[in-house]
Amino acid sequence: MPGKCKFQDSWLQKDAFKDWLVKDAGDIHFARCRACCKSIKLQTMGEAALTSHAGGAGHKAAIRKLLEGKLISDTGQIHGSVNQAENGNEQIAICLQRDALERITGSNWSDLHPSTTTNSTSHNATLPTAYFTAPGTSRLSNQRLHLSDSEKEDPGHHLALHDTLDLSRLEHQQRADALEEQQQMKILEWENRMKVLAWEQDLMREKTKAARQKHKALRMKKIYYRAKLKKLGEDVPPSSASSGDDEEDKPDLTG
């Protein structure tokens, strides 16, 4: 019977395995899957065991989960960058408004609020809209309001969708585990059949060896008695001797 296969470092560089294959630190006859966190027994199959695991439905589902998690993480980083940019734009817009008011009124921004007794010309001064709203800030504010409204309305729908996805993933994972278990059972059944076949071959060899030894003993015994008969002066018919040799040349394989 062939021995157990050992983990090959060259497998880590192959495109089919490099994204999820990890070397087992405890046993060189095992490998680990980074996606589904399972131990892969190499047995006598070697690379074929890795290929079989990669084709399993459970492994493919785990790979999809990793990709979804990565996309969610990337989306969160993008949203964080957008929020920082919006906050920076708002601060710039406020600074522009203050500078514009100071240039037009000729006074400081802080002096305009308490001056409730100023004359009508300075109090009723009309300013262009561009001085109060920087380009793009109104659109960003409207988007922020719409986002806040949608965030208030979405939690229930988001939870329901999340529960549905969890149920579908659980069913898919259960089916994948069942298929993988069936595949492992088939592999074990195949190994048992190979063991039985090897045992039968060994038994046949032993029977053949015993039959040859028995045949050899009969020939030696016949030669001994023929020599003894010749020594006593009796003749052995050649026909009976030849027929006896022919019969003895056929070993009894049944034992």
Q: What is the pLDDT of residues 73-128, one digit of tens each?
A: 665 565 556 566 566 666 666 766 666 666 666 555 444 444 444 444 444 444 44
The pLDDT of residue 120: 41
Q: Are residues 87 and 151 in the same domain?
A: yes
Three-state DSSP at 9 gives: helix
The pLDDT of residue 74: 60
Q: Are residues 110 and 193 in the same domain?
A: no
Tokens standing for residue 71: 């996309």
Residue 50 lies in a domain: yes
Q: Are residues 15 and 48 in the same domain?
A: yes
Q: d(Cα 71, Cα 144) in Å, to the nearest integer?
A: 23
Neighbours of 219 (CB within 10 A): 14
Q: Are residues 135 and 180 in the same domain?
A: no
Phi, psi for 245 (deg, rounded to 5): -65, -40
Q: Residue type at 42?
A: L
Nearest 10 degrees: Cα torsion 26, 27, 32, 38:
-90
The pLDDT of residue 6: 81
Three-state DSSP at 41 gives: strand
Residue 16 lies in a domain: yes
Looking at every residue in the chain, the average pLDDT score rounds to 71
Residue 95 lies in a domain: yes
Q: Are residues 218 and 154 in the same domain?
A: no
The pLDDT of residue 216: 95
Q: Are residues 94 and 169 in the same domain?
A: no
Tokens standing for residue 7: 């983990």
- H helices of the chain, where? 47-54, 57-105, 109-112, 120-123, 129-132, 137-231, 238-248
Which of the residues in the chain have pLDDT under 50?
1-2, 109-134, 138, 140, 145, 239-244, 246, 248, 251, 253-255
**Range(s) of the domain holding residue 32:** 1-54
Q: Are residues 154 and 174 in the same domain?
A: no
Tokens standing for residue 49: 């065991």
Tokens standing for residue 15: 């495109």
Query: How many domains is the chain built from?
Result: 3
Residue 3 lies in a domain: yes
The pLDDT of residue 148: 52
pLDDT digits (tens, 9 = 90+) for 204-213: 999 999 999 9
The pLDDT of residue 66: 72
Tokens standing for residue 115: 């001056």
Q: Which of 94, 103, 99, 89 is nearest to 143 (CA)?
A: 89
Tokens standing for residue 237: 């018919």
The pLDDT of residue 144: 53
Tokens standing for residue 207: 């029977």
Q: Are residues 178 and 225 in the same domain?
A: yes
